[in-house]
Amino acid sequence: MSLKAICTLIFLFFLFPPRTSASDLKLTTPVLYIEGNQAFAVFNISWDNSWNNDKNHDAVWIFFKSIPRNGQSHHISVLPDSHVEVANFSNGQIPLDFDTAEDSTGLFISPSGRFRGNIHATVKISLEREQFNSIRNRTSLFRVFGVEMVKIPEGGFTLGEPGETAQSFGSIYNPSSSALPEISNERSEIVIGESGDIYYQNHEGYEGDQTGTLSSDFPKGVSPFYMMKYEISEGQYVSFLNSLKGDMLALRDISRADYYTLDGGTIYYEENQFKTDYEHKPAIFLSWADMMAFADWAALRPMTEFEFTKASRGSRTPIEYEFPWGTNNKYKVQRLPDEDGLLTMRNKWTEEMLSEENLPFFGASYYWVMDLSGSLWERMVTIGHEQGRAFIGSHGDGILSQYGTATNVDWPSGDVNSGGVGFRGGGFYGYTREYHSYNPFSPISYRPYGGWHGVDRNKAYGGRLVRTSS
């Protein structure tokens, strides 16, 4: 090879660095066994860059569907125990923990002890036998689905940040003291107002109504919960679409939205199924209704503003202009969209190199949640509207309405004027526009759109969900 050719390859290598597939979660097609009064699924699960350390751990949320050729899918319940690790091929062969949800809609699989590395194992998961009595298994597809999550442990945290600059962007503060508000009790009631427990300024009209009370049931982030490690991906949304039929599918099909392909969406329909060539790419153009339908289907739920702060900051003492990675510098972040919208590391680092010391380069939060600032806007339940404050943290049950909408009555709806939704974290609209102090990277406490009910589809709107830890 000539020197000129070698130089050309080196140039291309730095211009288009090799892509990484993040954790690369893989689930093999499960084998369904029905033996006597027992039902169970056997499959292989693997994902990279797993961890269990003194602070927290990651996990995979697993759930099952039976998808008939005609008609809507069935969500399969998981038994509370009797799950088995059949074989372990992980480096270090770390045993796995199985934590079944109290409502039996799924379970978390995670490394059981201190660990850092790649997981690969064969597992046997016990299922509710009676559900299969009404299912024609031989004319249905039995499938397992998984979502990577991060455990946000129990503990208090602080809202807002020092100084008055953040307050001009809607940051929450204590109206009767210079001390920042401490959230230490999950079940406490919190009054919002000039003479209340917390307050915020409302210059633009998007921060919220500056009033109301958060009930003892409103999720505040003190109790443990799981948060998606990454935003909903195109691969996950494709799996969701391919499980739907009829009216359900028509309403959730983002690939036919105006400007979807022009603005970078790459989900398409071919040979009677939805596909994507970029499985790990964040799914754009999700409306709030799309996001809530996915949440209900996957037995997850939306996050609250408080949970966003807890997952970003953890137990750190706030500083001015603080980002989730713990500094007030946003220029070191290497994890940015490439020409196809895939989040890649510009310095060619891989996620296995993530550590407490280099969080600013990965744009990772205190608990190693990725992309809470930058990438796509984080939409969540707001404290700035009565519909948001009515949220009590119910989970999806895996079953949608006949029109493909979520059925949880405490969740803010996707209707344009109903209220209850807010935006945090900033959003990346591409390289053809200028950015500013809270976009595409927004400090943790900035909430200029914290009470804005933006429920439509947009190139910088995606989704991220949570689930309360049982």
**Tokens read off for 276:** 């994507």
Question: What are the pLDDT digits (tens) for 200-249?
Answer: 999 878 999 999 999 999 999 999 999 999 999 999 999 999 999 998 99
pLDDT band at 417 (very low <50, low <70, confident <90, very high): confident
Pairing, β 26-27 against β 225-228: unpaired
13 or 341, which is more confident:
341
Euclidean distance between CA atoms 49 and 149, whole angstroms = 12
Question: What are the pLDDT digits (tens) for 247-261?
Answer: 899 999 999 999 999
Question: What are the pLDDT digits (tens) for 330-349?
Answer: 999 999 999 999 999 999 99
pLDDT band at 1 (very low <50, low <70, confident <90, very high): very low
**Tokens read off for 309:** 């702060």
Euclidean distance between CA atoms 24 and 5, whole angstroms = 32
Rounded to 10 degrees, the C-alpha dihedral 280/286/289/291 comes to 20
Instruction: Specify whether the CB–CB gap between 108 and 61 falls below 8 A.
Output: yes
Q: Is the pLDDT of residue 21 over 60?
A: no
Least confident interval from 116-120, 122-126, 413-417: 413-417
pLDDT of residue 20: 42
Q: What is the mean pLDDT of the chain?
A: 94
AA identity, residue 299? A
Euclidean distance between CA atoms 72 and 76, whole angstroms = 13
State the alpha helices, DSSP H only, in 153-262: 234-241, 246-252
Euclidean distance between CA atoms 455 and 446, whole angstroms = 20
Q: Is the pLDDT of residue 13 over 60?
A: no
Instruction: Specify whether the CB–CB gap between 291 and 232 falls below 8 A.
Output: yes
pLDDT of residue 454: 94
E strand spans, 189-232: 190-191, 213-214, 225-228
What number of other Cβ atoms are within 10 A of residue 390's Cβ? Answer: 18
Pairing, β 58-68 against β 96-100: unpaired
Give me the domains of the chain, ranges plus CATH numbers.
Answer: 26-151 (2.60.40), 153-470 (3.90.1580)
Q: pTM higher than 0.85 for the full model?
A: yes
